[in-house]
Amino acid sequence: MVIEVGLIGIGNIGTGVAEYLRDHGKSHGLHLKAVADADPAKRQNARLPDTLLTDDAYKLIKDPQIQIVVELIGGENPAKQFKLDAIDNGKAVVTANKFTISRYSKQIFEAARKKGVDVRFEASVGGGIPIIQALQESLAPNDITLITGIVNGTTNYILTRMSEGMEYKDALKIAQDKGFAERDPYLDVSGQDAKHKLAILASVAWNTWIDPASISCEGISEITTKDIDFAAEFGYAIKLLATGRKHGNKVELRVNPTLVSISHPLAKIADEFNAIYLDGNYCGPQMFYGRGAGRPATTSAVVADIMHIAKNIRRGVRDELLSLDKQYELVEDPVSGGYFRLDLRHIAGSLAKVADILARNDISIKDSVQRNKFKRELDGDIVVPDIITVEPVADSKVKKALAELEKCDRVSGKPFYLRIED
């Protein structure tokens, strides 16, 4: 039985999927029947027969012969509506669209259940890493208590180059030149991309809908090579982590640059690679590692989803889609250890003033190191970077302390804080 496939979007990933189905689809009982893209340039550049191409997605959404619709255009609309209309027309759906899956998964899954069709989205998180399937199937017996990882290859590539001594702006440019970062890198470097991926991971792990807007999010643009060096001195690497923790009926969700102990496996993940580390009550610690983006890895995930659905169609079965109806309370003021980076005026009593501010905010100092090799003159004063590590403390107290430190006459410039993940 040959399964007919329709593809919407012939960009980088869409081209990879189309070429795979063209070259290898027959051996898997798959046939690419139609490819839709509104962009004439993309259709012209596609190495596909003109008879296969259209500018109208609804020609394949409404085609009664097509059984699987693959949406690879990204963004909110029309991508969301294409998926819903494909489902309404009795088609199974495969997507790599993290934006619509993170925001509208409950609506999409409900529509699919009513129509009795499958929806798969492995490529929405981690490129070719099979983390969604693992959470839904292989790790299903477990109560997952922790999900944390590097889920954005762009930021990891930049931080890797910075660990070699390169400044942020130079590392970003190289990432852009190599195609690891967009011309407008905001979604990556701000943590927004990782935030949507974390929302998907948390939703799947805990069968609940997570609003991406509820996730605390910080990017990497304020990280300096000094921070990289200081972290190494304390035995840490800096990574942009997307982290979800379950505490009974509460979940803690955050995306932020984090000091990761060099003994932790995540500290060793370099370049554009992704890794997702999790812990379950039966399986124990697990880590999934691989290329998190790029045509080959993402094509692998998309095609695997197509194959899975095709097998279900032949058997006359479908997957049990998540209900996403479990309710959890969000931890609004999470607790963690951390590191303050301050430029202190080299005046007697400066450190004492800082210690007083931290003490008044119930922040306990763990260690303090002044880096005299970075000493410089500013406005007639000598300024020395000071690194202060602190015991676990609530975010609200850190924010209050940062506001006071910024106003302190012994602190030059804006103080900076990084969380620690041991």
Query: So which residues are the catalytic ones?
Result: 197
Is 206:250 a contact under the CB 8 Å cutoff? no
C-alpha span between 74 and 97 (Å, rounded): 5
Within 8 A by CB and 6+ apart from 114, the residues are: none
Structure tokens at 52: 């296969």
Closest CA to 262 of 290, 229, 226, 234: 234
Q: What type of residue sits at position 69?
A: V
Helix ranges, 225-275 (H): 225-233
Letter for the amino acid at 349?
A: G
* Spatial distance between the Cα atoms of 148 and 278, rounded to a whole number of angstroms: 6
Q: How many helices (H) and strands (E) does the chain have?
A: 14, 18
Pairing of strands 411-421, 335-345: antiparallel
**8-state DSSP, 2:** P
The H or E element spanning position 312 is: helix 295-315
